[in-house]
Structure 1
Amino acid sequence: MANNAQVGLGLRREMLDEFCEQVPNAIDFFEVAPENWMTFGGKYGRQFRQLTERNTFFCHGLSLSIGSPEPLDVSFVKQIKGFMDLHGIDVYSEHLSYCSGKGHLYDLMPIPFTQEAVIHVASRVKQVEAILERPLILENVSFYAAPGSEMSELEFVNAVLSEADCRLLLDVNNIYVNSINHQYDPLDFLKAMPTERIAYLHIAGHYEEAVDLMVDTHGADVIDPVWQLLQACYAHHGVFPTLLERDFNIPPTQVLLQEINKIHDYQTAAQQPINRSA
């Protein structure tokens, strides 16, 4: 990821026909959940392989369950490695959460913010990295309750990154959503993230359930406060590859490109030298 001024888009199956014909110049990379793609054969499999041969891809997983109390699903991690090897993908990120116990929970659950959990997650990160032969990048997640917490979200995220010695996928929208739901200053949280560990960024829209309850949906346009937080992120941490997430209510590509080009504009502006001659 040498060029940090990059903008990506989450690839959805309904986009395959269009992007196999032509990928817009404004899209520098695609991101996929490997679980949704590694079983595809036939037409979809051929189209996906065509795209991975010509474009840069990142993997953003859904079901690693890095914080689960159950043993790591080693065979699943080996499947992920095989998928990444096949398609020449180097970047793999996952949610700092868990989604399984004795069975699959079908949701991303918050890990208790405890020192015990920090040690547990860090040991599993190292286990995953040994199998993948690649770094595991962890994402700060949106959460709606924090049972059994002994530290703040901020302290927990930083402690896990430090203990595991791993990189961060910084989700700007999740910071905003959590700041509303848990009443903290999003800018303070953003600035307290370790610059040297940031690998790339996510930005997305969300749903306003109530004035004091935001739900992270990836199903709407990015709102102004989140755009402002992205600009603040570039100003404080520097420019990093940034992915636009849109999981449903997906508009035509030309509409998505308006937000993608907005990210490009913010990246360009952040890299302009400050004129101090005035």
Structure 2
Amino acid sequence: MWFDGEIKGTGLGLRTAFIEDIHDYDLKPEWFEIAPENWIKKGGYLRKLFEDIRKDFPVVCHGLSLSVGSPDPVNKYFLKELKDFLDYYEISIYSEHLSFSSLYGSYIYDLFPLPFTRELAEDMSQKISFIQDFLGREISLENASSYVELSGDMEETDFIGYIIEKTGCKLLLDVNNVYVNSCNHRFDPYLYIEKIKPEWVSYIHIAGHKKIKEDLILDTHGSEISQSVYQLLIFTLKKIGKKPVLLERDNNIPPYRELLNEYDYLREVVKNAV
């Protein structure tokens, strides 16, 4: 019933703003990514449009609210809804952010950074192992953007590697977030990428950002990708090898024809890089 195939090449984050337009153009993304929270309870016409997409394309899920870095226990009610959704649509790839978005049972509706400590890495490893066992599938964790540095006893790449080794999960590598954080926290993004092992990475995110001042960049997903981020992406692909790459656009979404132009440009960059 649903499209059976692995993600490869270049994908696009699926948004309701253009879901009706996808079949109107010859150029079509090779795969799509959705936030399951936006679709689990959605019905009617939009659900039908999503199901039409799922029949024709590979789809992956990128979560927003599981809050894997929170001291709170996992929300098992939501986890059950998520598993039912993933199973019904036969979606094998699910990712979440390496951050927290809830505290003491209340949702904060944003993604907050984590202190990179061995103690937290151990606690998160136990939680992630539970989530993977419950969902019956390996998950991926995305490196998050941040605007403050919290004290810790590990580098972020060591923190990520520790969790991956402990749990068998993967890394959803967000290249734009690496660039944003490198500007905000004054480190070399290329050295960060050098520390990423190719076998860690399931796929890659790339998006636009907004420069506020010299040492402050916001991860907005609301503009075209900068050439600096494209150059970092090319370096990343040459270093870790061929991986699926996804274009994210959540804000200031242009007409679909214009978005396809950016998608096509990214597709050529990815193809030429590897």
Q: TM-score range by the shorter chain?
A: over 0.9
Unaligned runs of 5+ in 1: 272-278
Moved more, 165-174 or 138-147: 138-147
Task: Return the offset for 1:196.
Answer: 0.6
2:56 to 54, 73, 90: 54
**Is 1:136 matched with 2:139?**
yes
Task: Provide Cα deviations, 1:145-189, integer angstroms capped at 9, x if missing partner.
Answer: 233322222322222222222111000000000000011000010
Matches within 5 A, 1:189-228: 189-228=192-231
Specify whether residues 168 and 214 from structure 1 end up closer, same or farther in structure 2 by C-alpha distance, changes over 3 A only. Answer: same
Partner of 2:270 in structure 1?
267
Moved more, 147-156 or 172-181: 147-156
Instruction: Give TM-score scaled by structure 2 length.
Output: 0.94
Partner of 1:148 in structure 2?
151
Partner of 2:163 in structure 1?
160
Amino acid at match of 1:179: S
Moved more, 157-166 or 51-60: 157-166
Task: Provide Cα deviations, 1:20-78, integer angstroms capped at 9, x if missing partner.
Answer: x4464440011100001111111111111121122110100000100110111112111
Matches within 5 A, 1:87-102: 87-102=89-104
* SS of 1:263 mapped into structure 2: helix
Partner of 1:125 in structure 2?
128
Aligned 8 A contact 1:4 1:240 in 2: no
Task: Return the offset for 1:3.
Answer: 6.7
Specify whether residues 143 and 55 from structure 1 end up closer, same or farther in structure 2 by C-alpha distance, changes over 3 A only. Answer: same
Task: Provide Cα deviations, 1:221-254, integer angstroms capped at 9, x if missing partner.
Answer: 1001000001101111112110000001011222
Identity %: 39
Amino acid at match of 1:41: G
Q: CA RMSD in A?
A: 1.6
Distance 2:5 2:118 in 1: 34
**Is 1:255 matched with 2:268?**
no
Amino acid at match of 1:88: E
Aligned 8 A contact 2:8 2:31 in 1: no
Specify whether residues 149 and 117 from structure 1 end up closer, same or farther in structure 2 by C-alpha distance, changes over 3 A only. Answer: same
Instruction: Give TM-score scaled by structure 1 length.
Output: 0.92
**Is 1:113 matched with 2:116?**
yes
Distance 1:97 1:148 in 2: 15
Aligned 8 A contact 1:4 1:239 in 2: no
Partner of 1:17 in structure 2?
20
* SS of 1:14 mapped into structure 2: coil
The alignment covers a number of residue pairs equal to 270
